[in-house]
């Protein structure tokens, strides 16, 4: 049996995980070549208000290293940002949270009201206190960036600066009626894929700007095997019932430096929204990565890392001066 035909192995939070065969990358060139991921963080779980939240901690590279917290987006887990996280661990104390309903964190017992912005941010507040974080850098992708905006507004004293990836303060036009929800998640359950490749092919169509290595690694990080096939490792109701709050009214009151990164080919955020955000938030800067889609940190990884690193270094020195 060739490496490419070998069955997937490994354990996930709710089933066996898919492992990408090495030959998947045999013909990749240039930026498509996967970066080695050798650093192993410690896995931790805390209980806040009776609810279990999972997170990983890469540890401090040296005493008093500035902490850096990553918040993933919808359809994701802490691992989505892993390649980016590993570029910071030699200078920052990197910590990444599985938000409720995602990865190894507990799925919300409250349906359908357990996936609004206030609930996610209440989790974040309780988790920050439980872990004992003081001041830190906040990095959020999509839903994670949306949650980050509200957290920064509520706790400016704790956030040194933030990087917000491809999300506006409000998600206008998202259907919330039961019919639309049922269409997205029939019976409130995930669509089951017969093979990881079937899931990957769907992602290729939906995200044509994303390189092949990212589709493969997303499959490895997100898919778990059940008796019927392969499903993503997040609560389907987290997607079906996501209720993002309109944060436009608070944007002028966000007094911390934020960098907003938009993908030029994004279907989530348009140029006018980005311009309006920069005009509304007094300490906001922005950049559009023209060749990127929604997941700019995958689509234009070297550029994303360079821009984010420079911004964070300017506003949050790697070693705390306090």
Which tokens go with 177? 């009626």
| CA atoms 142, 146, 122, 111: torsion sign | negative
Grouping H, G, I as helix, E, B as strand and the rest as coil, residue 301 is helix
Measured CA distances, 4 to 7, 140, 202, 211, 224 (Å): 8, 34, 20, 19, 18
Give pLDDT tens digits for 266-317.
999 999 999 999 999 999 999 999 999 999 999 999 999 999 999 999 999 8
Give pLDDT tens digits for 59-80.
999 999 999 999 999 989 999 9
- The pLDDT-based confidence of 50 (bands split at 50, 70, 90) is confident
Measured CA distances, 177 to 124, 173, 191, 235 (Å): 28, 12, 20, 19
What domains, with CATH codes, occur in the chain?
38-177+239-315 (3.40.50.1820)
Q: In what order do the strands lie in the sheet with 93-97?
A: 42-48, 51-57, 93-97, 67-71, 136-141, 159-165, 258-263, 284-289
Q: What percent of the chain has pLDDT over 90?
A: 69
Tell me how many helices (H) and strands (E) the chain has. 10, 11
> What pLDDT does residue 90 have?
95
Q: Give me the phi and psi of 312, to 5 degrees please.
A: -65, -40
> Do 293 and 263 touch, CB atoms closer than 8 A?
yes
CA distance between the termini of the chain: 58
Grouping H, G, I as helix, E, B as strand and the rest as coil, residue 154 is helix
User: Tokens 């990749």 belong to which residue?
Assistant: 28
**Distant-in-sequence, close-in-space partners of 226: CB < 8 Å, separation ≥ 6:** 14, 15, 192
Reference 238, options 71, 118, 120; nearest CA is 120
């Amino acid at each position: 049996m060739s490496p490419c035909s070998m069955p997937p192995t490994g354990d996930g939070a709710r089933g066996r995980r898919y492992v990408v065969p090495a030959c998947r990358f045999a013909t990749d060139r240039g930026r498509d070549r996967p970066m080695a991921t050798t650093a192993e963080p410690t896995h931790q779980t805390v209980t806040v208000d009776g609810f279990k939240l999972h997170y990983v901690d890469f540890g401090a590279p040296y005493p008093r290293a500035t902490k850096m917290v990553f918040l993933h987006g919808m359809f994701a887990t802490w691992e989505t940002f892993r390649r980016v996280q590993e570029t910071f661990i030699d200078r920052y104390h990197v910590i990444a949270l599985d938000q409720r309903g995602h990865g190894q964190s507990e799925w919300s017992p409250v349906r359908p009201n357990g996936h609004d912005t206030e609930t996610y941010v209440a989790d974040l507040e309780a988790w920050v206190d439980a872990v004992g974080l003081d001041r830190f850098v906040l990095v959020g992708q999509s839903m994670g960036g949306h949650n980050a905006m509200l957290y920064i507004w509520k706790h400016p004293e704790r956030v040194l600066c933030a990087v917000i990836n491809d999300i506006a303060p409000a998600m206008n036009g998202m259907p919330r009626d039961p019919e639309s929800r049922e269409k997205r998640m029939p019976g409130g359950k995930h669509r089951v894929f017969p093979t990881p490749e079937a899931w990957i092919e769907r992602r290729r169509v939906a995200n044509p700007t994303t390189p092949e290595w990212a589709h493969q690694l997303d499959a490895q990080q997100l898919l778990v095997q059940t008796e019927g096939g392969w499903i993503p490792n997040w609560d389907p109701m987290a997607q079906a019932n996501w209720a993002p709050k309109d944060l436009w009214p608070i944007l002028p009151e966000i007094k911390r430096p934020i960098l907003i990164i938009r993908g030029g080919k994004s279907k989530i955020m348009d140029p006018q929204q980005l311009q309006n955000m920069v005009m509304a938030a007094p300490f906001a800067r922005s950049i559009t990565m023209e060749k990127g889609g929604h997941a700019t940190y995958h689509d234009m990884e070297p550029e994303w890392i360079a821009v984010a690193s420079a911004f964070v270094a300017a506003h949050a020195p790697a070693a705390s001066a306090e």
